A = this chain, B = another copy of it.
Amino acid sequence: MNTSAHELQFDARGRLRHLITLAGIERGRLDALLDRAEAMRRDSREGTRPLDLLAGRTAINLFFEPSTRTRTSFDLAAQRLGAQVINFDIARSSTVKGETLLDTIHTLEAMHCDAFVVRHQEAGTPAYIARHLRTRAAVLNAGDGNHAHPTQGLLDALTLRRRFTDLSALRVVICGDIQHSRVARSDVHALQTLGVRDLRLCAPPGLLPDSDSPAATVEFPQCRVFHNFDEAIEGCNVAIMLRLQKERMDAAAIPSAADYFARYGLSATRLARANADCVVMHPGPINRKMEIADDVADGPRSLILEQVANGVYVRMAVLAELLQTA
């Protein structure tokens, strides 16, 4: 590993070549990507014709973890730009026959694949692939372990930028299993780059490094750590709720879903402690009645479906950015 994941994603002329992480991507570039997503949103809504920006290009969805929304979102984004999409079903593929990951990648490159959209349970897989490519193909990280989920960070940023004129004035809380969350990490990168200063992380003690631990300082600089959600949400303009893998409750010494909801779930009562304009976000899929109450998830403060919509535009923008310069 000679280059960092961040350095890896730029070419010699400084153009974005892969999207592995939002860490280190500067504000101007982030804004430009969001502007492009905004343009995709406008164009998509005005006409019904597909754009043919990526006609003749091939995107391959390489999902090593099951996923509905992210895979479908990338699939639609690529198709709506005119690209050909191959959904690569890992379970049924030759990787079962013992082919190495890199042999699979190089084989697909040899077939002239222009983009690999990669989700993998192990942090670092998209960077590993990018580092070993032999062509100009682009790697889009669709979520790797607890490392990063950059298009989620971008879509959350777009959603907030459309809602609030001045992000630097916002108080934002991210609540849930911070420890294992690639969404939290990419959101922190995106929001801090866009100027958010009052960023709070709230989780059960076992699911978040202590504020003064080296891990927390390195991973989440300038964030305030909370273990009490009532305190953390106080005066917030934005509450981003995370998904809790049920198998992680044990590790966090949480006896039940009801107990988790009582302490870390977002109820209308708890939301009342936030600022009056507070919006509610969640990357989905939601565990209802555990992370978030039905009336909040479906209420007027919820931007959850707005996030989903913006996800497609952000992915169109990223695909266009990476494949047009490729």
Say whether A27 faces chain B, with CB atoms less than 8 Å apart: no
How far, in angstroms, from A55 to B51 measured CA to CA in the complex?
10
Check A88/B110 contact, CB under 8 A, given A50-B55, A99-B285: no
Contact B94 A312 (CB under 8 A): no
A266 CB → nearest B CB, Å: 16
What 1/0 flags go to A285-310 for Cβ under 8 Å of B? 11110000000000000000110110
A95 — nearest CB in chain B belongs to which residue?
B68
Q: State which of B79, B84, B110, B285 has its C-beta within 8 Å of the C-beta of A50.
A: B84
| Complex partner residue of A66 from B86, B92, B104, B107, CB under 8 angstroms | B92
Q: Which listed segment binds B: A70-78, A160-168, A192-200, A222-230? A: A70-78
Of the candidates B80, B84, B92, B306, the one whose C-beta lies within 8 Å of that of A110 is B306
A95 — which chain B residues lie within 8 A by C-beta?
A: 68
Chain A residues within 8 Å of chain B by Cβ, number: 52
A42 to chain B, nearest CB (A): 14
Interface residues of A in 89-117 (CB under 8 A from B): 92-100, 103-104, 106-112
Within 8 A of B (CB), among A199-234: none
Chain B residues with CB below 8 A from A72, complex form: 86, 88, 108, 111
A57 at the interface (CB under 8 A from B): yes
A28 in contact (CB, < 8 A)? no
Q: What's the nearest-Cβ distance from chain B to residue A118, in Å? A: 15
Min C-beta distance of A293 to chain B, whole Å:
14
Q: Which residues of B contact A93 (CB under 8 A)?
A: 66-68
- Knowing A56-B48, A312-B111, say if A79 contacts B68 (CB, 8 Å): no
Instruction: Report chain B residues within 8 Å CB of A103.
Output: 284-286, 288
A107: which of B94, B104, B134, B305 is its contact (CB, 8 Å)? B305
Query: Whole-angstrom distance between the alpha carbons of A67 and B96 in the complex?
Result: 10
Assembly CA distance A188 to B102 (angstroms): 30
28 of the cross-chain contacts (CB-CB < 8 Å) are A47-B56, A49-B55, A67-B93, A67-B94, A68-B93, A68-B94, A68-B95, A68-B104, A68-B107, A69-B94, A69-B107, A72-B88, A76-B86, A76-B111, A80-B84, A94-B284, A94-B285, A98-B287, A99-B286, A104-B285, A107-B285, A107-B305, A107-B308, A109-B305, A110-B305, A110-B306, A111-B308, A112-B309
